[in-house]
Chain A
Amino acid sequence: MITDLRRRITIETPEGVSFTIYLAGPFTRFLAWLVDCLVLQAAAWFVLSIIGPSTMLFGNVSTALMILFYFASSFAYRIGMEWRFRGQTLGKRLLRLRVVDSSGLRLQLNQIVIRNLVRVVDAMPVFYFVGGLSMLINKRHQRLGDLAANCVVTCLPENGAPDFDQVLPGKYNSFRDYPHIEGRLRQQVSPQEADLLVQALLRRDGLDASKRVQLYRELADHFREKAAFPDGATAGITDEQYLRNVVDSVFRGRR
């Protein structure tokens, strides 16, 4: 079963497990397209620098080759790259995008060819006006080529499992001495609040120092209201350590 939501598709497998495909937006796709254009220009420049001097020797045969290269490369590059790298050109690779079958199945060569041929209509009349309009209207951000080929362009997550050392306390969690208050804390904290907390800690290094202190203080105050630990458990610990203890208590304690 496939459920369409804005910017994501949820697919339920026959095993009863659901997973979500996160769709790429028009702007990210535009950036990937721009990178691919630069790559094609660089390749054209490279071929020109090789074939160019040979026009002295081979005359119009070299010119013919250049004409055919310019024409073929615009289609062959995207089709070849998306086939070889499972839905990724260099631009998409850089932007962590991938073309996938809209049902979550493996992308077929036919689909890749069609989405790249219908590109000529998407590019009409200038600068992908038709394709851009289609992406804005369509819930799955599909241009016409994607629609004809049954494809969507997805955002890929970061490689590898997340680094949990960033989140968990790393030192003794004084809250564990009060299991009944920990229990109340787990009861009070909603999944959304826990999500927010984990994200705040995972993004620690990306936050400006003063803003981070302020954010952690506000978060710590928020979670202090959920369950009040005695002074013995909180004395001398920073707001950040308080939050790490909360994460440890919430996650470790769920059984």
Chain B
Amino acid sequence: MIIDLEQFIANEQPYWDELQAMLTTLEQRTGHQLDLNAVKRFNYLYQRTASDLARISTFSAEPTTRRYLENLVARAYAEIHEARQVRSRFQFGLWALQTFPQTFRRHIRAFQMTVLMTMIGCAFGALVVATDAPAKGVILPFDHLHGSPSDRVADEESVTEDRMKGHRSEFSAQLMANNIRVSITALALGITWGLGTLVLLFYNGVILGAVALDYVLSGETVFLLGWLLPHGSIEIPAILLAGQAGLVLAHALIGFGSEHTLRERFRLVSPDLVTLIAGVAIMLVWAGLIEAFFSQYHEPFLPYSLKIAFGATELVLLCIYLVRVGRDDKGGARASAALGTAGATS
């Protein structure tokens, strides 16, 4: 029981001030490490302030001091009881060679589901175009896809000057921003128990299937591959990976077959979600550059064979990267050794 309040504060204030100063240092310098003596002192100050809080709480008539102490104890508690590791320095090489592909493989079921949903969308889009061609104008959001594919190909191949000249960077930036926004939405919609993510993937599939069959039926398959493959071989998997992240979030929310609580499940998947969406963003920056600076050029500027070969190579390399890189501990150890680090990060 308290105590002479004035005397109590006079005695304890120096300790509170010292704890406050240590907390401010820790909070302002991310990654700042205390030495052993400082850790001991910090723990002592935390224990003492917690004890002061317990003492003052028994006398509930002084809310201002209690809130002040609660704030101090809460901040110190966060520092002392945080057991999750914080890496002091992010290493891109380690992340790219291990963390990202490993994370992708860890949630392969979710990826398979995104592929399945997109394929269903593709089939639906193709069916619509095959059975009701005028409906193309309703399901395709871009005006330049509403006309005849053959007319468009003839138009693209007849140009003698660079249509993209003076607009490439701007177009590329717009593509990057738009695609990354769509990917973030695909991830975020996972919070709707995955329904929003699945709808978005289905709709993307509808557009893809409708466009693809439209061009195939018009005999423009080579143009289609030359146009879509260079950027699509990265962009489409990127959207699928974003959908994968959305479904991982949805699985954490639903918790089917998990023994963890909702908060634990969210806590467990959060590093994987950030890893996946970061990888997606990088992929989409690359796809945006390729689409603006390469995909929009057709014969006679660029031979379709070259564009198709480029796109196919990208796709094969991406598959190898996602399936093989960082696959075993030896590989991980080699990558760690090569980067001068130790241990896996995922």
Show the binding face of A for B, using Cβ within 8 Å: 11, 13-22, 59-61, 63-65, 67-68, 70-71, 75, 83-84, 86, 100-111, 113-114, 117-121, 144-145, 147-150, 156-158, 160-162, 164, 168, 191-192, 194-195, 198-199, 202, 250-252, 254-255
Contacts and interface: CB of A to CB of B under 8 A. Distances in A.
Given A104-B77, A157-B70, 14 more contacts: A19-B53, A64-B170, A67-B174, A68-B177, A104-B74, A105-B77, A109-B274, A110-B271, A113-B273, A118-B191, A157-B67, A161-B65, A198-B64, A252-B6
Contacts of B9: 161, 164
B266 A148 contact: yes
Contact of A162 (B47, B65, B180): B65
B266 A164 contact: no
A60 B79 CA distance: 48
B78 A191 contact: no
B61 A11 contact: no
Which 7 pairs between the two chains have the least Cβ-Cβ distance? A194-B61, A64-B173, A162-B64, A64-B169, A71-B177, A110-B270, A67-B173
B61 A198 contact: yes
A104 B173 CA distance: 40
A160 B68 contact: yes
Interface in B76-100: 77-79, 81-82, 84, 86
B50 A110 contact: no
Given A105-B81, A252-B6, A15 B50 contact: yes
Given A83-B30, A111-B270, A117 B6 contact: no
Contacts of B273: 110, 113-114
Contacts of B180: 71
- The listed residue with most B CB atoms (<10 A of its CB), out of A18, A111, A121, A202, is A121
A121 B189 contact: yes
A100 B82 CA distance: 12
Interface string B159-178: 00000001111101110110
B51 interface: yes
A160 B78 CA distance: 19
Nearest to B16: A161
A60 B191 contact: no
Nearest to B172: A64
Given A108-B270, A110-B270, A255-B3, A191 B60 contact: yes
Contacts of A107: 78
- The listed residue with most A CB atoms (<10 A of its CB), out of B3, B6, B68, B270, is B270
Nearest to A157: B67
Interface string B163-204: 000111110111011001100110111011000100000000
A119 B274 CA distance: 14
Contacts of B47: 15
- The listed residue with most B CB atoms (<10 A of its CB), out of A15, A61, A144, is A15
Given A71-B180, A150-B263, A254 B2 contact: yes
B207 to A, nearest CB: 20
B65 A19 contact: no
B63 interface: yes
Given A64-B170, A100-B78, A106-B78, A113 B274 contact: yes
A30 to B, nearest CB: 20
Given A20-B70, A111-B270, A251 B61 contact: yes
A40 to B, nearest CB: 15
A254 B169 contact: no
B84 A108 contact: yes
B249 A68 contact: no
Contacts of B65: 161-162
Contacts of B74: 11, 19, 21, 100, 104
Contact of A117 (B176, B196, B277): B277
5 contacts: A18-B57, A59-B166, A64-B170, A70-B177, A114-B274
Given A19-B74, A65-B173, A161 B30 contact: no
Contacts of A144: 191
